Amino acid sequence: MKPLKIIAIGNSSGVILPKEMLDECHLAQGDHLHLVKTADGWLLAPYDPVLARQLDLAEQVMREDRDVLRVLAK
């Protein structure tokens, strides 16, 4: 595990990813990433537009059918 430093970028913040990590993950400057909260912490993964759409739809279903899902979870 390699520590990363958060730096100021204008009014935002960013993290510097080492070149070795970018190469290993087949990433380059300008690529988009997903930051997903998991039970074990946060996961940084390459952006996948298909997955993003599926997650958006799942969140929509969970909001709309919250009561039904709560009953099914019992």
The domain in which residue 17 lies consists of 6-72
Residue 26 within a domain: yes
Q: What is the CATH number of the domain that holds 64?
A: 2.10.260
Residue 40 within a domain: yes
pTM to 2 decimal places:
0.54
> Cα–Cα–Cα angle for 63, 40, 1, nearest 5°?
140
Average pLDDT over the chain, rounded to whole?
89
Instruction: Give the residue from 12, 15, 13 showing the smallest Cα distance to 4.
Output: 15
Helix (H, G, I), strand (E, B) or coil at 62: helix
Domains held by the chain: number:
1
Residue 29 within a domain: yes
The residue-averaged pLDDT of 40-60 equals 89
Residue 61 within a domain: yes
pLDDT the model gives residue 52:
84
Residue 1 within a domain: no
